[in-house]
Structure 1
Amino acid sequence: MNYIRVKLTVVLLVFSLLLSLVIAVVDYDKLRETVLQSQATEIHFAEDKIIHNLSTIDKVYNLFDVEMAEKMKTISMELLVKYEREPDFGSWDFDVLKEEYDMDIFILDETNTVIYSSFEEDIGLDFKACCSGFSKLLDQRRKEGEFTHDGLDLQSKTGEFKKFSYMPTPDQHYLIELAVLLEDKEIYKQFNFMDTIESLLQEYDIIEAIDVYNSGGNLLGVKTKGFKMNMINERFLDVFEQVRKKGETEEVFVSENGEKLTYRFIPYQADEMRGYSTKRVVAIAYNNDIVAGMLSEYKNQFFRQLIVILIGVIALSFIIARIVSKPIHLAFHDSLTGLSNRAAFEDERQKRVHRNKKHALMMIDLDDFKSINDQLGHVEGDKILKVFASTIKDIISPGHLAARVGGDEFLVLLDTDETENIEKNAKLLIKKFNNRMDEYSFDKGMRTSISIGIASSLEKEPFDELYTRADQALYKSKMNGKNQYSISE
Structure 2
Amino acid sequence: MNKYFRMQLTLILIAFSLAVSFVIAFFDYGKLKERVRIGHETEISLVEDKIVESLTTIDNVYNLMDYQIADEMKAYSDELLALYEKENDFERWDFQALKERFGMDIYVIDTRNQVVYSSFEPDIGLDFNKCCSAFSKLLNERRAGAEFSHDGLDLQQYNGEIKKFSYVPTPDNHYLLELGISLENHGIFEKFNFIKTMDTLKSRYESVNSIQIYNSEGFRFGETEAAKYDKEITPEMRPLLREAVLSGKVQKRVQSMGKHRVTYRYIPYNADEKRGISTQRVIEIIYNDAEFSGLLGQYRNEFIQQLMLILIGAISLSFLIARLVARPIHLAFHDSLTGLKNRVALEEEVHNRLEKKQRLLALMMVDLDNFKTINDSLGHGEGDRILQLAAKTIQEIVGEKNLTARIGGDEFVVIFSDVGAMEIRQLASKLIEKINESFDALGHIENLGVSISIGIAVATGDDRFESLYEKADRALYLSKENGKNQYTFYNGEQDNRMD
The question of a shared fold, defined as TM-score above 0.5 by the shorter chain, is answered with yes
Give the structure 1 partner of residue 9 of structure 2: 8
Q: 2:444 aligns with which of 442, 445, 452?
A: 442
Call closer, same or farther: CA 1:224–1:245 in 2, change over 3 Å: farther
Call closer, same or farther: CA 1:16–1:229 in 2, change over 3 Å: closer
Alignment of 1:36-435 (within 5 A): 36-223=37-224, 225=226, 230-255=231-256, 260-355=261-356, 356-435=358-437
Answer whether contact 1:127 1:135 (CA < 8 A) is retained.
Answer: yes
What is the Cα deviation at residue 19 of structure 1? 1.8
What is the Cα deviation at residue 212 of structure 1? 0.7
What is the Cα deviation at residue 465 of structure 1? 4.0
Cα displacement string for residues 128-176 of structure 1 (whole angstroms, at most 9, x for unaligned residues): 3332322221221222211111111111222211111112222222222
Cα displacement string for residues 30-56 of structure 1 (whole angstroms, at most 9, x for unaligned residues): 122112111110111111110111111
CA distance in 2, matches of 1:77, 1:417: 118
Give the structure 2 partner of residue 487 of structure 1: 489
Call closer, same or farther: CA 1:381–1:59 in 2, change over 3 Å: same
What is the Cα deviation at residue 281 of structure 1? 0.8
Give the structure 2 partner of residue 467 of structure 1: 469
Call closer, same or farther: CA 1:375–1:152 in 2, change over 3 Å: same
Call closer, same or farther: CA 1:257–1:14 in 2, change over 3 Å: closer
Aligned residues: 488
What SS does the aligned partner of 1:234 have?
coil
What is the Cα deviation at residue 440 of structure 1? 4.2
What SS does the aligned partner of 2:113 have?
coil
Shifted more, 264-273 versus 407-416: the winner is 407-416
Give the structure 2 partner of residue 18 of structure 1: 19
- Could you tell me which runs of 5 or more consecutive residues in structure 2 were left unpaired when the two chains were aligned: 492-499
What one-letter code is carried by the residue in structure 2 that aligns with 1:360? A
What is the Cα deviation at residue 249 of structure 1? 1.0
Give the structure 1 partner of residue 496 of structure 2: none
CA distance in 2, matches of 1:330, 1:312: 27
What is the Cα deviation at residue 295 of structure 1? 3.0
CA distance in 1, matches of 2:485, 2:445: 21
What SS does the aligned partner of 1:442 have?
coil
Call closer, same or farther: CA 1:205–1:379 in 2, change over 3 Å: same
CA distance in 1, matches of 2:440, 2:143: 132
Answer whether contact 2:333 2:341 (CA < 8 A) is retained.
Answer: yes
CA distance in 1, matches of 2:112, 2:237: 29
What SS does the aligned partner of 1:153 have?
strand
Cα displacement string for residues 152-206 of structure 1 (whole angstroms, at most 9, x for unaligned residues): 1111222211111112222222222211111111111111111111111111122
What one-letter code is carried by the residue in structure 2 that aligns with 1:325? A
Answer whether contact 1:160 1:183 (CA < 8 A) is retained.
Answer: yes
Cα displacement string for residues 48-70 of structure 1 (whole angstroms, at most 9, x for unaligned residues): 11011111110111122111111
What one-letter code is carried by the residue in structure 1 that aligns with 2:244? V
CA distance in 2, matches of 1:53, 1:158: 21
Call closer, same or farther: CA 1:463–1:85 in 2, change over 3 Å: closer
Task: State the Cα RMSD in Å.
Answer: 2.5
CA distance in 1, matches of 2:123, 2:418: 108
CA distance in 2, matches of 1:175, 1:463: 110
Cα displacement string for residues 250-281 of structure 1 (whole angstroms, at most 9, x for unaligned residues): 11223457753211111000000112211001
CA distance in 2, matches of 1:439, 1:112: 123
TM-score, normalising length from structure 2?
A: 0.90
What one-letter code is carried by the residue in structure 2 that aligns with 1:264? R
Call closer, same or farther: CA 1:258–1:128 in 2, change over 3 Å: farther
CA distance in 1, matches of 2:490, 2:258: 91
CA distance in 2, matches of 1:112, 1:275: 16
CA distance in 2, matches of 1:110, 1:402: 110
Shifted more, 72-81 versus 213-222: the winner is 72-81
What is the Cα deviation at residue 347 of structure 1? 0.8
Cα displacement string for residues 286-321 of structure 1 (whole angstroms, at most 9, x for unaligned residues): 214543444344334433432332333233323322
What is the Cα deviation at residue 91 of structure 1? 2.1
- Could you tell me which runs of 5 or more consecutive residues in structure 1 were left unpaired when the two chains were aligned: none
Cα displacement string for residues 209-262 of structure 1 (whole angstroms, at most 9, x for unaligned residues): 111111221111133539x97122111222222211221111122345775321
What one-letter code is carried by the residue in structure 1 that aligns with 2:366? I
Call closer, same or farther: CA 1:463–1:188 in 2, change over 3 Å: closer
What one-letter code is carried by the residue in structure 2 that aligns with 1:390? K
Shifted more, 5-14 versus 37-46: the winner is 5-14
Answer whether contact 1:105 1:176 (CA < 8 A) is retained.
Answer: yes
Call closer, same or farther: CA 1:298–1:110 in 2, change over 3 Å: same
Answer whether contact 2:159 2:222 (CA < 8 A) is retained.
Answer: no
Call closer, same or farther: CA 1:400–1:275 in 2, change over 3 Å: same
Call closer, same or farther: CA 1:128–1:370 in 2, change over 3 Å: closer
Answer whether contact 1:108 1:176 (CA < 8 A) is retained.
Answer: yes
Answer whether contact 2:334 2:345 (CA < 8 A) is retained.
Answer: yes
Call closer, same or farther: CA 1:486–1:255 in 2, change over 3 Å: closer
Give the structure 1 partner of residue 494 of structure 2: none
- Identity across the alignment (%): 49
Cα displacement string for residues 327-348 of structure 1 (whole angstroms, at most 9, x for unaligned residues): 1111111222222211111111
Give the structure 2 partner of residue 28 of structure 1: 29
Answer whether contact 1:218 1:229 (CA < 8 A) is retained.
Answer: no
What one-letter code is carried by the residue in structure 2 that aligns with 1:276? I
Give the structure 1 partner of residue 495 of structure 2: none
CA distance in 1, matches of 2:275, 2:471: 108
CA distance in 1, matches of 2:348, 2:379: 33
Call closer, same or farther: CA 1:259–1:380 in 2, change over 3 Å: closer
Cα displacement string for residues 63-90 of structure 1 (whole angstroms, at most 9, x for unaligned residues): 2211111111122222222332333332
CA distance in 2, matches of 1:142, 1:179: 17
What one-letter code is carried by the residue in structure 2 that aligns with 1:90? E
Cα displacement string for residues 414-465 of structure 1 (whole angstroms, at most 9, x for unaligned residues): 2354333323332333333333433545279745222222233446555444
CA distance in 1, matches of 2:154, 2:279: 8
What one-letter code is carried by the residue in structure 1 that aligns with 2:470? T
